[in-house]
Structure 1
């Protein structure tokens, strides 16, 4: 009887830690290297300057390379150095979050160091997955600009 209870407990533990089939599929599609081609803003008519991910301005993210490794949920994005942008690698730990029906899945990430240790104090970011195929991805996040909510749209192509 004890063996049966123990086995049942393991099965429940494994099933509770598992990722949904949809999330696994999105993780597999995300795996690899992507180029962030365009950052745009919905819901604002003027010029917008935004500090994204508490890291760089939107212009610095355009052309950045993003790498997602699905076997250990780590990755990085690389900013090219320029007059306006501090270049270099930003290491991340990421996952796909499944939400209730009628809501988009989300890509969430937080910053880590090269040794996979959290450097963000547990603070992370979530972006709604609007579109994800083998070759293209569109993510959206909500930000406040001068007290008005707007959507930041990130358009990627897979390398």
Structure 2
């Protein structure tokens, strides 16, 4: 009986430890939490002019100046695009997290779309962006995509609102 208790306690502890997030991820989540403005979108690793649709939602030009909000305590958030002649404005709700990539010593911000009742509307599909810079006031995310068989990196530059 006593041996079963110790075995069960050890198993429970192992499960709790394996499900917890690392200190690094927790710190990054705390830094990301809050309101941000997406100031600039640029492209690296390829020449030319690009017209791109981001996140299956809208043209890149619609995202410049968009407001992003990340709530840390329940991993939800939203981004808001302003209404314009090229842009369908409004809020887009997301569920987000930070994951570590131990093999590359990097972290990624991942998100998927949810409705206003926090239900998944993306069929389990989502997006991952490499966190290349994160400070209290600046965040730079990168996404590698393929354009006509050639690699292009989309760079997203954010500034945190005070």
* TM-score normalised over the length of structure 2: 0.95
Could you report, residue by residue, the CA deviation over 1:11-40 in whole angstroms, capped at 9, with x for unpaired residues?
111111100110001000000000000000
Name which of 112, 123, 129 aligns with 2:114: 112
- Who is 2:43 aligned against? 41
Superposed counterparts of 1:13-24, under 5 Å: 13-24=15-26
Which shifted more, 39-48 or 95-104?
95-104
Considering only CA atoms, is the larger Rg found in Structure 1 or Structure 2?
Answer: 2
Runs (4+) of structure 1 exceeding 4 A deviation are none
Offset of residue 146 of structure 1:
2.2
Q: 2: distance between equivalents of 1:99 and 1:71? A: 22
Could you report, residue by residue, the CA deviation over 1:39-82 in whole angstroms, capped at 9, with x for unpaired residues?
00002221100111011111011000111011111101010110
- Who is 1:87 aligned against? 89
Offset of residue 10 of structure 1:
1.7
Q: 1: distance between equivalents of 2:20 and 2:55? A: 28
Q: 2: distance between equivalents of 1:102 and 1:149? A: 19
CA RMSD of aligned residues (A): 1.0
- Who is 1:5 aligned against? 7
Offset of residue 101 of structure 1:
4.5
Q: List alignment gaps of at least 5 residues for structure 2.
A: none
